[in-house]
Amino acid sequence: MYERLLKTIGNLGAPKILVVGDFMLDVYIFGDAVRISPEAPVPVLKVTETESRCGGAASVSADIVALGAVPLCVGVVGQDANGDLLKKQLTAIGADLCGLVDAPERPTTTKQRLIGLAQRRHRQQLMRIDQECTDPLPEAICQEVLQKYREALDQADIVCLQDYDKGLLSPTVCKEMIRLAREAGLRILIDPVHSQDYSKYAGATLLTPNRCDASTAVGFEVCTPNDAAKAAQQLAESLSLDAVVITLDKDGAYLSAGQVREMIPARARNVYDVTGAGDIVLATLAVSLAAESDYLTAAHLANIAAGIEVERFGAAPVTASEMIHEIADQYGARNVKLRSLDSLMEEINWRRSRGQTIVFTNGCFDVIHRGHIEYLRFCRAQGDIVVVGLNSDSSVRALKGPERPINSQFDRAAVLSGLETVDFITIFDDPSVLGLVKRVKPDVLIKGADWAGKGAVGSDFVESYGGKVMFAPLVQGKSSTATIEKIKAIQAGEAEA
Q: How confident is the model at residue 285 (pLDDT cuts 50, 70, 90)?
A: very high
pLDDT for residue 351: 85
pLDDT for residue 154: 94
Q: Which of 126-130, 195-199, 236-240, 488-492 has the lowest mean pLDDT?
A: 488-492
pLDDT for residue 196: 92
pLDDT for residue 269: 58
Q: What is the mean pLDDT of residues 424-448?
A: 93
pLDDT at 271 over 60: no
Instruction: Note if 393 is an active site residue.
Output: no
Reading phi first (left if > 0) and then psi (alpha if -120 to 50, else beta), residue 365 is in left
pLDDT at 257 over 90: yes
Q: What is the mean pLDDT of residues 54-82?
A: 94
Across the strands, what pairs with 77?
102
pLDDT at 272 over 70: no
d(C-alpha 451, C-alpha 363), whole Å: 13
pLDDT for residue 403: 82
pLDDT for residue 278: 87
Q: How confident is the model at residue 480 (pLDDT cuts 50, 70, 90)?
A: low
Q: Where in the chain is the domain with CATH 3.40.1190.20?
A: 2-330
Beta carbons of 189 and 159 less than 8 angstroms apart: yes
Q: What is the mean pLDDT of residues 128-140?
A: 93
pLDDT for residue 210: 93
What's the topology of domain 341-491? Rossmann fold (3.40.50)
Set 63, 157, 279, 443: catalytic member: 279
pLDDT at 133 over 80: yes
Q: How confident is the model at residue 95 (pLDDT cuts 50, 70, 90)?
A: very high
d(C-alpha 342, C-alpha 325), whole Å: 10
Q: Which of 25-39, 189-203, 341-355, 443-457 has the lowest mean pLDDT?
A: 341-355
Which tens digit of pLDDT belongs to each residue from 204-250?
999 999 999 999 999 999 999 999 999 999 999 999 999 999 999 88
Q: How confident is the model at residue 193 (pLDDT cuts 50, 70, 90)?
A: very high
Q: What is the mean pLDDT of residues 105-126?
A: 84
Which tens digit of pLDDT belongs to each residue from 384-412?
999 999 999 988 888 888 888 888 888 89
pLDDT at 122 over 80: no
Mean pLDDT of the residues in the chain: 89
Q: What is the mean pLDDT of residues 114-140?
A: 85
CATH class, range 2-330: alpha beta
d(C-alpha 168, C-alpha 274), whole Å: 24
Q: Where in the chain is the domain with CATH 3.40.50.620?
A: 341-491
Which tens digit of pLDDT belongs to each residue from 299-336?
999 998 888 887 776 667 888 877 877 777 676 555 57
Q: How far is residue 255 from each of residues 163, 251, 298, 373, measured CA to CA in Å?
A: 20, 13, 10, 45
d(C-alpha 291, C-alpha 287), whole Å: 6
Burial (CB < 10 A; 0-12, 13-18, 19+), residue 213, is: buried
pLDDT for residue 10: 77
Q: How confident is the model at residue 455 (pLDDT cuts 50, 70, 90)?
A: confident
User: Of 139-148, 454-463, 473-482, which one has max mean pLDDT?
Assistant: 139-148
Q: In the 3-class helix/strand/coil scheme, how is the chain assigned residue by residue? A: CHHHHHHHHHCCCCCEEEEEECEEEEEEEEEEEEEECCCCCCEEEEEEEEEEEEEEHHHHHHHHHHCCCEEEEEEEEECCHHHHHHHHHHHHHCCEEEEEEEECCCCCEEEEEEEEEECCEEEEEEEEEEECCCCCCCHHHHHHHHHHHHHHHCCCCEEEEECCCCCCCCHHHHHHHHHHHHHCCCCEEEECCCCCCCHHHCCCCEECCEHHHHHHHHCCCCCCHHHHHHHHHHHHHHHCCCEEEEECHHHCEEEEECCEEEEECCCCCCCCCCCCHHHHHHHHHHHHHHCCCCHHHHHHHHHHHHHHHCCCCCCCCCCHHHHHHHHHHHCCCCCCCECCHHHHHHHHHHHHCCCCCEEEEEECCCCCCHHHHHHHHHHHCCCCEEEEEEECHHHHHHHHCCCCCCCCHHHHHHHHHCCCCCCEEEEECCCCCHHHHHHHCCCEEEEEHHHCCCCCCCHHHHHHCCCEEEEECCCCCCCHHHHHHHHHHHHHHHHHC
pLDDT for residue 274: 65
Beta carbons of 122 and 250 less than 8 angstroms apart: no
